[in-house]
């Protein structure tokens, strides 16, 4: 295998991610499973499902199980590739925006959910019912405390949310450990890989497809009497090493997903694509009340160096439309269960203020975050606007640390300690959540 270049390609850190070998890494792979003892953790896989386990799981494995009582849930949608917050939520009241973006700027008359200063991209129109109902808010000029224009380093920092720590534990994994919920399915990843935000000592369930997240050969057609599951439980019942613990936890978690698989899928509600499919699976799982309280889903690719486009077409039009339609469908699919679910979007960094020569935008800093659902004081824009400058290398400055946004959701909707979830961080009040 050839080494990856140590410098970004063409000025952009847009290359395959590499692991930081100085820190423990848990990934859904056979190698991670086999070296579990060395890393003080392991990943157990069955078909499209995986359960990551760590050194504290042994006790948890005997106490956690399916939970059929209502549980509040936080759903994080990661806009991978660094979404342009100035296109998603346009500061039409700042004249520099139009000076810096003569080709891709969105005219005020095209915006939706518009007030005297901000408005959303017209492709975000599917979110208007949530906005008008006071269930959707936007927080602008958010992000990391200091600029970091590397996709992978920025996402790692963002999802660890623990600057300076050498322990690779994500903030959602800490949330799972701190929240007062007991379930084998408390932490859920829907997608092909487990992000840093969910890595850590707490068990996490991951699947690419809800309908195939089962032990191979254990369906009623192949094994009507459940002999395969019984044999696997017997085989691993006495093993107390990370591999054995992981298999037992995975068996429990896969079985606990049965009520979610029984929930009716409503694919016609959702736009075609990975995000719609993922949120459909999340909605079915949450409607089943199996104890899920923290979920992460990816939406990508947002790395728009070329062809971003203005209103009426282009890459941003497609991505923003898919994002808005998928979120709108998600809450329609949840129905009354939506009163227990809060969704928040996040991206590793924003884009530069000034458009480039290719009709796109280069890596920047500040961005926008959306919050929707339970507990959100919506129908308005939040944050302190820093003003834009039209220099070639100008960014949106960050006036609200992204952890303050996430911590406000955690404080309002979970029993977790924000001090545990965001170690050493003193949050500032943003005010978009009820009671905060």
Q: Is residue 16 part of a domain?
A: no
Output the pLDDT for position 166. Answer: 87
Whether omega before 301 lies within 30 degrees of 0, making that bond cis, reads: yes
Output the pLDDT for position 78. Answer: 98
Output the pLDDT for position 46. Answer: 53
* Residue 302 pLDDT greater than 80, yes or no: yes
- Cα angle 46-175-378, degrees, rounded to a multiple of 5: 110
- % of the chain exceeding 90 in pLDDT: 67
According to DSSP, residue 224 is labeled T
Q: Is residue 54 part of a domain?
A: no
* Residue 61 pLDDT greater than 60, yes or no: no
Region of 89 on the Ramachandran plot (φ > 0 left; ψ -120 to 50 alpha; else beta): beta
Output the pLDDT for position 28. Answer: 32
Q: Is residue 310 part of a domain?
A: yes
- % of the chain exceeding 70 in pLDDT: 81
Q: Is residue 124 part of a domain?
A: yes
* Residue 36 pLDDT greater than 60, yes or no: no
Per DSSP, the three-state class of 386 is: coil
Can you read off the two tokens belonging to residue 245? 């613990």
Q: Is residue 39 part of a domain?
A: no
Angstrom distance (rounded) from CA 373 to CA 343 = 6
Least confident interval from 14-18, 343-347, 360-364: 14-18
Q: Higher model confidence: residue 389 or residue 36? A: 389
Task: Please report which confidence band the pLDDT of residue 192 belongs to, taking 50, 70 and 90 as the band edges.
Answer: confident
Output the pLDDT for position 39. Answer: 27
Output the pLDDT for position 322. Answer: 98
Output the pLDDT for position 38. Answer: 24
Burial of 41 (0-12, 13-18, 19+ CB in 10 A): buried
Q: Is residue 131 part of a domain?
A: yes
Output the pLDDT for position 67. Answer: 54
Angstrom distance (rounded) from CA 85 to CA 120 = 10
According to DSSP, residue 20 is labeled -
Q: Higher model confidence: residue 160 or residue 227? A: 160
Can you read off the two tokens belonging to residue 265? 């899928």
Angstrom distance (rounded) from CA 338 to CA 351 = 32
Q: Higher model confidence: residue 40 or residue 411? A: 411
Please count the CA atoms within 13 angstroms of the CA of 267 that sit on its side-chain side: 4
Full 3-state SS string of 242-295? HHHHHHHHHHHHHHHCHHHHHCCCCHHHCCCCHHHHHHHHHHHHHHCCCCCCEE
Q: Higher model confidence: residue 5 or residue 362? A: 362
The pLDDT tens digits for 110-137 are 999 999 999 999 999 999 999 999 999 9
Output the pLDDT for position 384. Answer: 98
Among residues 212, 216, 250, the alpha carbon closest in space to that of 233 is found at 250
User: Taking residues 19-37, what's their average pLDDT?
Assistant: 29
Q: Residue 250: in which H helix or E strand, if any?
A: helix 242-256
CATH number for position 188: 3.40.720
Q: Higher model confidence: residue 265 or residue 51? A: 265
Angstrom distance (rounded) from CA 116 to CA 102 = 21
- Cα angle 77-132-188, degrees, rounded to a multiple of 5: 20
Output the pLDDT for position 410. Answer: 98
Output the pLDDT for position 220. Answer: 64
Q: Is residue 34 part of a domain?
A: no
Answer for the pair 430, 400: CB distance below 8 angstroms, yes or no: yes
Residue ranges making up the domain that contains 125:
64-213+257-421
Output the pLDDT for position 212. Answer: 83
Output the pLDDT for position 19. Answer: 34
Q: Is residue 226 part of a domain?
A: no
Residue where the block lists tokens 């002999």? 227
Q: How many domains does the chain have?
A: 1
């Amino acid at each position: 295998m050839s080494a990856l270049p140590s410098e970004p390609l063409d000025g952009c850190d847009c290359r395959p991610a590499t692991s930081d070998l100085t820190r423990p890494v848990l990934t859904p792979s056979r190698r991670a499973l086999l070296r579990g003892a060395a890393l003080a953790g392991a990943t157990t896989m069955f078909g499209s499902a995986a359960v990551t386990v760590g050194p504290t799981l042994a006790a948890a494995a005997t106490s956690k199980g399916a939970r059929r009582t209502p549980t509040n849930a936080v759903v994080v949608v990661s806009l991978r590739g660094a979404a342009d917050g100035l296109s998603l939520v346009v500061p039409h009241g700042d004249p520099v925006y139009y000076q810096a973006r003569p080709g891709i700027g969105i005219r005020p008359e095209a915006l939706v959910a518009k007030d005297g200063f901000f408005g959303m991209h017209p492709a975000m129109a599917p979110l208007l019912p949530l906005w008008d109902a006071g269930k959707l808010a936007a927080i602008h000029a958010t992000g990391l405390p200091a600029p970091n224009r590397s996709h992978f380093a920025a996402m790692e920092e963002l999802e660890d949310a623990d600057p300076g720590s050498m322990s690779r534990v994500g903030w959602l994994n800490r949330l799972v450990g701190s929240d007062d919920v007991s379930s084998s399915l408390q932490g859920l990843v829907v997608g092909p890989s487990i992000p840093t935000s969910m890595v850590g000592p707490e068990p996490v369930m991951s699947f690419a497809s809800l309908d195939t997240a089962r032990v191979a050969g254990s369906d009623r057609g192949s094994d009507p009497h459940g002999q395969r599951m019984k044999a696997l439980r017997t085989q691993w019942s006495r093993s107390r090493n990370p591999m054995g613990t992981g298999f037992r936890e995975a068996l429990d978690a896969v079985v606990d997903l049965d009520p979610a698989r029984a929930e009716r899928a409503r694919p016609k509600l959702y736009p075609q694509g990975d995000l719609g499919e993922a949120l459909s699976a999340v909605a079915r799982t949450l409607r089943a009340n199996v104890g899920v309280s923290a979920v992460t889903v990816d939406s990508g690719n947002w790395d728009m160096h070329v062809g971003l486009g203005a209103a009426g077409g282009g890459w941003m039009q497609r991505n923003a439309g898919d994002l808005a339609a998928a979120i709108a469908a998600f809450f329609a699919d949840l129905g009354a269960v939506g009163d227990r679910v809060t969704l928040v979007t996040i991206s590793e960094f924003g884009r530069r203020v000034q458009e480039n020569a290719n009709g796109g935008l280069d890596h920047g800093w500040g961005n926008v975050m959306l919050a929707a659902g339970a507990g959100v004081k919506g129908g308005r824009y939040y944050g302190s606007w820093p003003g834009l400058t039209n220099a070639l290398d100008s960014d949106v400055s960050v006036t609200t640390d992204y952890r303050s946004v996430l911590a406000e959701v955690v404080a309002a909707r979970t029993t977790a300690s924000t001090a545990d979830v965001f170690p050493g961080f003193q949050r500032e009040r943003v005010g978009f959540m009820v009671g905060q």
